[in-house]
Each structure stands twice: as C-alpha cells, then as structure tokens.
Structure 1
Amino acid sequence: MNRQDPIVTSVEFDELPVRYPRTVGRNARLGSHGSGGAARIVLLGTDTGCRGWGMIEAEPAAPDTMIGKTLTELIDSETGVRDDDHLWADAALHDLLGVVEDRPVWDILGAAGDRTIGVYDGAIYFDDLDPDDAPRGPQVVLDNCTADAGLGFGDFKLKIGRGNRWLDRKAGDDRDIEITRAVREAWPDARILVDANDGYDLDGFCRYLDAVAEIDLYWVEEPFDDNADDLAALRRHLDRVSPDTLIAEGETHPDVESLLAVAADGHIDVLLMDVMSYGITRWRRIMPRLLEIGVAASPHAWGRPLKTLYAAQLAAGLGNVPVVEGVPGRTDRVDDSGYRFVDGALVVPERPGFGLPLPG
C-alpha cells in the first residue's frame, strides 16, 4: 500500500467552544453578535493513523461517501477538492493532505505569498449603542480598539451604517463620522477600513466620504447593495476625494461572475468571498483570474478565530492578499501556538496542515 495515499475510514463531527474577549455588538443590519458560540468541525481518520480536521459551515452532503476513498480520490494537491459534493469538508481535506505530505497548507497552495501577513481587527462594532437603556457612547469604541491593540492588532475595521436601522439617519451618519475621525486621531498610523454592511445608499455614502476625506481610509466595504452603476460612481467619487481608498465587495454568497465583471472595469479593488462558505478550493480556482485583471483578494473571516488562520494560510499560499480579517478570541481545545503576532502581523507556522493540533 502507498503510505502517502491513505484511505479515509472515519468521518466524525464535533463542536469547539469559541470565546471572544467581549460581547460584540450590532452592525448596520444585525443585532448583537454575542460572545463567541461554537465552531462546527469534522475530523477525518485514515487507515494509516493520519488525521485531519477542519471547520465546516455548510451542511455535510453524504459524508459516508468519503469513507473507503483514498486521499487522492478526494483531493488533488494542485487543484483542491475533486468533487463539489465534498466541498463542505474543504478545510479538513486540505489539513489531512498537509499532514500526510508533512507540508503546511500554504506550501501546498503554492507558497506565493509572504508567511507574515497583515491582519486587521474585525471586531469594532456598534458597542456605543449598548445597552439600550444607557448607551455607552463613542468612547467604548476607542476602548475596544485599545483592548484589541493589546492583543496584537495594529489596524482596525470600523462598522458603520448606524442610520440604517438603529438611529435616525442623520444622527447615525454623524456618529459614523465622529467615530471614524476619533479612531484616526487616536491611531494616526493605522490602516483604517470601514464596513457599512450595505447600510447606506450611494448619495449618503458619498456624503460620509466627503466628511472623512482627510482620513485616508484603506478600504470601504459593502457600502450599499451591489449595483454596477453605483460602484462605478463610487469609484469616480473616491478618485476625487480619496483616490488611494480601495473598494471591497463580495462577502457572502455573492454573484461572483457579476462582481468579476465590475472588478475588471476597475470599480472593485478587493474581492471578499468567505474563506469557509466560498472555500479554499474555489479560491484556488479563481485566484489566477483575479491576478489577470489586477484585483486583490481578502477572504471574509468574521465569526470564528479559526477562519482568520485559514485566511492567513490562503494568503501565504496563493498570494495577492494584502490583509486578512482578524477575529479576536480563542477556540477551546485547539493548539494555535504556532501562529504568532509580530508588529500587527500574523506569522503562519511551518507545521503540517493548518498547524492546529487537537490535543487528545
């Protein structure tokens, strides 16, 4: 038997508790994001004793069909998961492949990027609006930035769009402007990104940009519902008031082909499809097209700290990822000590697979 081509003999499921350092509040569309929750995982066992595991988000499709198959029947080291029916186990199959080949996932993906990847803090939400009976106000947002800087983050993505649901439109927009300016004043050298979760329209967002033009935003994310004409108009406006600011789109379940057409026209600079729901294999397939049209990638990772580590591996492997979304917190039972923060960047380990042993 080829020891490098083990047979999958077991497919098991579990949940790992996730804990944020604080309760994370609202965004433009949704209420409180809570204090962590759980990461669903799948563990793949083999006849040779090798084991791989990874997060899952999609409902497993016929997991028993993986049992009895060799690893090379399930995943190709050059292209990823072979059968789309098994994409729900994308992370676990890449992890298992790395364990079997004694290679980190970033090396399997091509080692086209740097192992030291910039990571921004993705947990700056509308905590100023909570609690309802005694809102804490803008200072709590600055306090959260300070706390996360203590965890190693040097760059911040601010949720904006308070006037979409939670405040009067003008009051919400004014608060967005106030907080953006306050964070820039407190962190003059940080990359500041803003994410509206589609909480503005084009005219309102252009007014916001006019009010913060001097801040030199790194990117604006999901400013309004996807619309090719509006994104083109936004790019023209940014070229006037903040020409270095990038437009980032495509977070969850996007129409990727439509977004690629807009990006090819120069009106989207960074695509954000989720590292789990879109997945590593699909990112492997699409990255050459992004390189061809000169568009960067930054897989959406919010929700689970493991997703940040997966996105960092993808960045180190495929390249063309200027920054990764950070999720402060920890995942119980996972040894993530191989990943290190250095000067606001995350260093990806040389351990096999994703480098995340599950003790015991």
Structure 2
Amino acid sequence: MDHVVSSISTVQVGARFLRNVGRNSFRDHKGSGALETAYVVATSLGARGWGLPIGPGDPSVLIGRSVDSLIDPAAGVIAADAMFLDYALHDLAARILDVPVHVMLGAAASPQVRCYSGGIYFDDLDDGLPVIEQNLKQDSAFGFRDFKLKVGRGYRWMPAAAGLDRDIAVTRLTRDLYPDATIMVDANDGYSLNTLIHYLDAVADCDLYWLEEMFAERHEDLVFLREHLSRWPSRPLIADGEYSPNVDHILSLAREGLIDVALMDVVSHGLTAWRHTMPSLAAKASPHAWGLPLKTLYAAHLAAGLGNVDIIEGVPANTLGTVDDGYTLADGVLTLADRPGFGIDLA
C-alpha cells in the first residue's frame, strides 16, 4: 500500500522469427515478426513492472493510486479501469513481493513446462514440401521436440482435394521424421466435418495429440466428432477456444466433455481472467500464445502457477527489446527463471 503509481510509459517489444512464416488456412504470410507496445508502471518507491496490455485503457487515471488498490496478489487486478494493465501489474506486484509471478499465482505445478513449436505453417506452398522438413529441423535445433502443424490448405490456397492430400503428406512426413514427437494439428476453422473425417482416416496411425479448431464450435459437429474418435485406438484431444471465443460457450462445451483443451489467448483473455477461469474449467488449458515469445513466457508462468496445463505453445523466434532473461528451452522443456516478476528486463 506504500507503493503509489508515479508514472506509466510505453516501450516497444517484439519478435524476430527464425524464418519468414507463411500462411495458415485463411490468413496470408506472417512475415518475419512484429513489434508491440508494452506498458511500464513505476511507483513512488522505485519499483517497476511492465507487460503487454490486454486491451485499450487510459493510463492517466491510474497515476497517484496505490498499487494495492489496483491488484490483489491473491486474485489479480481488482480495479476495472486498470485491467488493461493486467500483465504489467502482475509483474509489478510480484517484483514488490520479490517472488516470480508463478509463485505469486500459487506454484501449483513445476516451473519446467513442456513447450511445442507452433511455427509449422504453409511454407510449402511457396517453396515445396522439402521446406517443411527444413523448418522442423530448424525448430528442433532451437530446442523444440514437439510440433503443431497448420492444416487446411484446401480452404483457400489449393483445390480442396489437393489441399487435403498435402495436409496428409505433411502430417505423415512429420511423424516419419520425428517418431517420438507429440504432434498437434490446427485448421484455424478451415475444415468441414466431412473433410476432417477424411483427414483422420488417412492419418489414423500418426498418433495425433490434439485437433485444434478444426471447424467452428458447432455442438452437433463436436458430438459427431467425439463419437467418431471414440472408435480410435488412441483418441486425440479436441482443443478449441482461440479465435474470437464465446468463453461461456467454450466452458459449457468443456463441461459436456466435447472440448478437452481450452485455448483462450493468454493476453486477450488475460491473466486475471485465467485465474478465475481455471478453478472451474472442466478441461485442460493451453492458452494460445502465438506471435511473441513473451506470450509463451506468460503462458509458462500461468502453467507453473495455476497448474492444469500439460503443454504450451512456443514461438520459434528471438525477442526484441529485452535483455537476457534467464529462461532456457531444451529438449522441449521451457524452464522458468527464478527471478522476481516475470523475470524479464527491458533493454
């Protein structure tokens, strides 16, 4: 309560991908990375915390207010007009308490978190199928051991049959090259139910870990899919909730057993919201974290702090605008730094 917000400023942080990233089922090339605006909150006693905003807000209304009126370490942000600074305030509060964020959240799980590469896009459309093998090797050398593959080439970029054949070829290639890898597939809602059934029949021996956003969250389609998967010897999980989610609908589908993994974005859903969502979630969680390695680190703290997360999304990229943060990615495991806050210092 002795800490009073004295200033709020902005800084640019971002990512430089290991390579130019191609298309998914409905969006064009991702390019080489991006910059985002983060907020830095300083207090009258010299503490500083920073983070990505989860939405728009007015920093000026927070100047002169005590930190304990904005965030409760046991629950998250408590002032509605400060919610947009969710991550900056969690970082600040944990730094004041001199603990990592995941410890402030409860330390419910290990600070070593499984982390997959989410960077296998449709680069083959420009450079041929061999580029998928190159990208997998590059991400493996970076430290990943598990991979999420984008599928749905026939939704926009290829004739439907040819696109499905290519999706199958990429899946089988990945399994052949990495027999021990955990493999997930993500259609970004680019499949119909019929297309998905054809795809599943063709890759039934590939031991997929989850199916992500294969189509829009239609109840009757999910019921049919669940029944179809019940006949599989190894049933992949159903993951959904990333794209513009109706969170109540996602939570309801999870309660019915139709969604196994909830994917609401780690930033746009927010850490405070995840703290309230997780205790009643009738499914596992794996917050969407594509775009910036910083989002992956947020997801890792959430996983280690709240539990109920088996694996998180990683970005094959280097962070721009920060200095060495002490995190390590090795053999597919992201180990959190034992530093106050999120443990990341600005350059």
Q: Name the TM-score, length of structure 2 as normaliser.
A: 0.98
Q: Is 1:168 aligned with 2:159?
A: yes
SS in 2 for 1:150: helix
**Alignment-derived partner of residue 133 in structure 1:** none
Q: 1:98 to 1:258 in 2, by over 3 A?
A: same
Q: Partner residue of 2:286?
A: 298
Q: Equivalent residue of 1:35, what SS?
A: strand
Give the letter for the 2:173 counterpart.
Answer: A
> 2:306 is aligned with what amino acid?
L
Q: Deviations over 1:161-197 (max 9, x none)?
A: 0000000000000000001000000000000000000
- Cα pair distance change 1:252/1:90, threshold 3 Å: farther
> Does structure 1 conserve the Cα–Cα contact (< 8 Å) formed by 2:54 and 2:86?
no
Q: Which residue number corresponds to residue 6 of structure 1? A: 3
Pick from 219, 222, 228 the counterpart of residue 228 of structure 1: 219
In the alignment, the residues of structure 2 paired with residue 329 and residue 55 of structure 1 have an alpha-carbon distance, to the nearest angstrom, of: 17
Kept after mapping to 2: 8 A contact 1:40/1:57: no
Verify: 1:64 aligned to 2:60, yes or no.
yes
Q: 1:112 aligns with which of 74, 99, 108?
A: 108
Identify the residue that residue 152 of structure 1 maps to in structure 2.
143
Match of 1:137 in 2: 128
CA distance in 1, matches of 2:72, 2:233: 43
* Distance in 1 (alpha carbons) for counterparts of 2:257 and 2:344: 38
Residues 238 and 261 of structure 2 are in contact (CA less than 8 Å); yes or no, is this contact kept in structure 1? yes
Structure 2: which 5+ residue stretches go unaligned?
A: none
Q: What secondary structure does 2:154 align onto?
A: helix
* Alpha-carbon separation, structure 2, partners of 1:117 and 1:335: 22
- Counterpart among 6, 15, 18 of residue 15 in structure 2: 18
Equivalent in 321, 333, 343 of residue 345 of structure 1: 333
Give the 3 Å change call, closer, same or farther, for CA 265–176 of structure 1 in structure 2: same
1:103–1:352 Cα contact (<8 Å) kept: yes
| Runs of at least 5 residues in structure 1 that lack an aligned partner in the other structure | 131-135
The corresponding residue for 2:311 is 323
Q: Report sequence identity in percent.
A: 49
Q: Secondary structure at the match of 1:275?
A: coil
* Counterpart for residue 354 of structure 1: 342
Count of paired positions: 347
Q: Equivalent residue for 2:273?
A: 282
Per-residue displacement from partner, 1:80-137 (whole Å, max 9, x unpaired)? 011233222111000000110001000011100111100000010000011xxxxx21
**For residues 249 and 83 of structure 1, what CA distance do their matches in structure 2 show?**
30
TM-score (norm 1): 0.94
Q: Which amino acid in structure 1 is aligned with residue 243 of structure 2?
A: T
Aligned residue type for 1:179 = V
Three-state SS of the structure 2 residue aligned to 1:241 is coil
Conservation of the 8 A alpha-carbon contact between 1:202 and 1:224: yes
- 2:30: which partner in 1? 33
Q: Deviations over 1:15-54 (max 9, x none)?
A: 1242111110000010000101102100001100110000
User: How far off its partner does 1:58 sit?
Assistant: 1.9
| 2:51 is equivalent to residue 54 of structure 1 | yes
Cα RMSD, aligned residues only: 1.1
